[in-house]
Structure 1
Amino acid sequence: MQTIKIILVVLGWLIPLVGLAQRIDNTASFRQMGSDNYFRLHYDNDYFTTTDYYYTQGYNFEVVNPALRKNPLTKLLIKARASHIQYGLALEHFGFTPTTIQSDAILVGDRPFAGCILLKTFSIATDTLRRVRVSSVLSTGMIGSVAFGGEMQAAIHRLINGVEPHGWQHQIRNDVILNYNLNYEKQLYAYRNALSVSANAQAQVGTFADRLQTGFVVMAGRFDSPFGTTSTQRRLPLQLYVYAQPLVSLVGYDATLQGGLFNRTSPYVIPADQLARTTFQANYGAVLRYKKLYLEYYQSLLTREFETGKPHRWGGIKIGVSFGTFAQ
């Protein structure tokens, strides 16, 4: 059995599947809410890491409720054999800038400006016998000025007395976002309610991004198992733990760098031959759950995404409230 676990870990690193290193990933196992009915707010900003470029900020309003299984788009999701399925919707908005926002000229060799807005329909299926979680996400939305990325950044900078952003007139032009994401997580090892090690692989394709990704998650502290979320499991009223998630990706296409798939009129994009085809991302953070309250702080590190780019870091907070436990 130990040999099998070791093999699975190695395969998790060496056999990447099509996937995307998501900026805001609300379906990861270490973000389990332990409920069928909850609301959660995610907010990212590179202000947490004292930077102001590339992935500059993002937010996500997430709702999970059993009634959302009647959403017509839910029928398009893959629902693997599982002990329990959760259904949700999320509204997401995020933006990207070059290394400076004080120039009205196109900064050749730097990242393009890009704003994105998405509506995500998702499900999370947990198989408690095989210790497997399968999450699927259908993202629909727009990239471009219609997402109001420039207006959002200007409003935030006015709020914090920051510099007025310039250059958004050169942003990626309006185009449709239609993407599908499939995430598979398998628990490899667990010790009581104190330690969990799992491997994960993602598959995402569409008009927004196509990438290859694999990695694993380590959780340590005091927590309910995200792979054993049944109604009979004894729940801990107070949970406090840390996690680390290293990820390796192979990049095929990224609309925030290369422009939309259909609208090719963007004034400036990164040529395909200048993309960094392999990237490494590390997510790490701490979670506090007390009864129905969820609090999280985390930071992320991402290696350069194009030849003339550089590594980037950002941070985020998540606040959630649940309205019950898993249904029978």
Structure 2
Amino acid sequence: MQGKLLSTGISAVVLFASAASAGADDKKHTHINDATISFTFENDYFASDDFNYTNGSKASWLSGPRPPAGLAAFAAEHLLGMGPGAEARIGFGLGQSLYTPEHTLATAPLPGEHPYAAYLYGEYTTMVEENDRLTQLTAQVGMVGPSALGEDAQNFAHRLIGGVEAEGWDNQIGDELGIAITLDQRRRIGTSIGDGWIEIDMIPAYGVTVGNVQTDVHTSLTFRIGDNLAKDYGPVRVTPGLGGTAYFASVPGFSWHVFGGFEGRAVARSIFLDGRLFSDDIVTVDKHPLVGDAQAGVVLQYDRFQLSYIHVFRSSEFENSGGSDEFGALSFAMKLGKW
């Protein structure tokens, strides 16, 4: 009888320990397989400027892990190298980017200054993650030109804040269907210090973009320190730019990290500087083939909510541009249910 009671007691202890361990794991990463929505707003207002790259905004949705199907399955298997232990996600987004010259009160064309340009696009993403490596294929299709509603968007925003409306949108890059396809790979190399209280990692990345909107090759390196860095590749950004993804791993309570990074791009074509591929435009400029971004920021997270701010310094993109550009990027992300 005593042996039977002892055996029963040991079994109960083992079951309790297993349940406690599972509970600890659940507490470490909750909502880990949930879908994510994110909203990103980039503007040179954060740097007290209002020219060159002046505004970018994007809303996106990213699924939880799911078996890819159709086009996503083809991309995951043949382009992203999906193995048997990998996780796949798909995402959709809607974004707009605006560019203006420095002197926005002038109604005449301004040779030598950044052309007026707007880009309104939809975005589809397939990504595969395995062993701290994320490979991502993104396709953007949209319109560059008056149909992208850049004049309406900028002047509406300026009216809201009591700013001066831009007068030269009649000189913007004309209408053209815009396509950009990007293939990126990121790796996360990290460790923990202080009994796991603080995590440090670095994320090297490289990729290529092809299309009439943008054609380039790019590489980057990001350093981060904080907590809850696992299964996270940095906050989302509006492309082109040194960005992460909409995905993040949530934990109960508060977590944080700070980061800094650099990206270099060799640019063969940019419709916002070179003009349309199949037509001539009123104003174009001589672009620099090599462009770099330096950025630093902070990410704050509470349970399923994430808020980030990034400050970006971008090297001169064209001849006689007046120097580097500076802008800020604010993003908000939230975990949804399992769909």
Q: TM-score, normalised by structure 2?
A: 0.78
TM-superposed deviation, 1:122: 0.3
- Is residue 280 of structure 2 the alignment partner of residue 265 of structure 1? yes
Distance 1:127 1:281 in 2: 28
Distance 2:180 2:67 in 1: 19
Structure 2 equivalent of residue 53 of structure 1: 51
Cα shift readout 1:30-71 (whole Å, capped 9, x = no counterpart): xxx954412111111111111111111111010122599778
Distance 2:100 2:93 in 1: 24
Structure 2 equivalent of residue 280 of structure 1: 292
Tell me the amino acid that sits aligned with residue 202 of structure 1. Answer: G
Structure 1 equivalent of residue 200 of structure 2: 195
Q: 1:236 to 1:127 in 2, by over 3 A?
A: farther
Task: Determine if contact 1:60/1:90 at 8 Å carries over to the other structure.
Answer: yes
TM-superposed deviation, 1:176: 1.1
The partner residue of 2:334 within 316, 321, 326 is 321
**After alignment, is 66-75 or 314-323 more displaced?**
66-75
- Is residue 214 of structure 2 the alignment partner of residue 209 of structure 1? yes
Cα shift readout 1:253-284 (whole Å, capped 9, x = no counterpart): 0001111222x1321112xxx22111110122
Q: TM-score, normalised by structure 1?
A: 0.80
The partner residue of 1:291 within 303, 314, 337 is 303
3-state SS, counterpart of residue 267 of structure 2: strand
Distance 1:167 1:71 in 2: 46
RMSD of equivalent CA atoms = 2.4
* Structure 2 stretches lacking a partner, 5+ long: 1-30, 234-248
Tell me the amino acid that sits aligned with residue 188 of structure 1. Answer: I
**After alignment, is 178-187 or 316-325 more displaced?**
316-325
Structure 1 equivalent of residue 39 of structure 2: 41
Q: 1:150 to 1:94 in 2, by over 3 A?
A: same
- Is residue 68 of structure 2 the alignment partner of residue 63 of structure 1? no
Structure 1 equivalent of residue 16 of structure 2: none
Structure 2 equivalent of residue 109 of structure 1: 112
Task: Determine if contact 1:69/1:87 at 8 Å carries over to the other structure.
Answer: no
Distance 2:302 2:119 in 1: 33
- Superposed, 1:216-255 pairs within 5 Å as 216-226=221-231, 235=251, 237-255=253-271
TM-superposed deviation, 1:236: 5.7
Look at both structures and tell me which one has the larger radius of gyration over its CA atoms. 2
**After alignment, is 192-201 or 294-303 more displaced?**
192-201
- Superposed, 1:296-307 pairs within 5 Å as 296-307=308-319
Tell me the amino acid that sits aligned with residue 248 of structure 1. Answer: G
Distance 1:224 1:299 in 2: 20
Structure scoring higher RCO (CA < 8 A, sep ≥ 6) equals 1
* Structure 1 stretches lacking a partner, 5+ long: 1-32
Q: 1:288 to 1:87 in 2, by over 3 A?
A: same
Aligned residues: 284
